[in-house]
Amino acid sequence: MQQKPRIMHVDIDQTDTWTRYRRGLCDGCVARCCTMPVETRLPDLVRLQLVEAFEAEHEAPKQIARRLERAGIIEHFNFRDSVFTIARRSSGDCRFLDSQTRRCTVYERRPDTCRRHPQVGPRPGYCAFEPKPLPG
């Protein structure tokens, strides 16, 4: 009788449960990294088309943060570092993650935080890989 492979539970907050990243790993994952908070800066918000370039040049980040927070686009703004944290859905998923395909809907415009993951982050070189369930 063939045994099913043991799948270790992945806990986003426990980096010792993460897997060493390797090319192609994302293709078989349920996008666990897309449930982590995404910190962005103004250039990211412009690229995501959440803020107009003119607004970014002429408006104080604090004012932009207030508007985005009221609109439910960001959940936090760090005034000291001018870092915006993108609001997530009630499920914990990134607002830009397609819930069916588990793929990023803004991949070409994604924030630098996402572009550099997993080279930077809580455990550089590792990711919160969780395999997609097998069909059937």
Total tally of structural domains belonging to the chain: 1
**Predicted pLDDT of residue 4:** 47
Note whether residue 90 is domain-resident: yes
- Residue 136 domain-assigned (yes or no): no
Give the strands of the sheet with 74-78, arranged side by side. 39-40, 83-86, 74-78
pLDDT of residue 11: 86
Residues 6+ apart with CB under 8 A from 83: 39, 40, 41, 77
Q: What pLDDT score was predicted for residue 53?
A: 97
In a domain, 49, yes or no: yes
**Residue 133 domain-assigned (yes or no):** no
Phi, psi of 34 (to 5 degrees): -85, 15
pLDDT at position 3:
47
pLDDT averaged over consecutive 10-residue blocks of the chain (136 residues)?
55 91 92 94 97 97 97 96 96 95 95 94 92 79
Q: Is residue 6 part of a domain?
A: no
57 inside domain? yes
Residue 37, domain extent: 15-127
87 is a domain residue: yes
- The whole-number pLDDT of residue 21 equals 94
Indicate whether 8 belongs to any domain. no
Q: What share of the chain is helix, strand, coil (3-state, %, to 5)?
A: 30, 15, 55
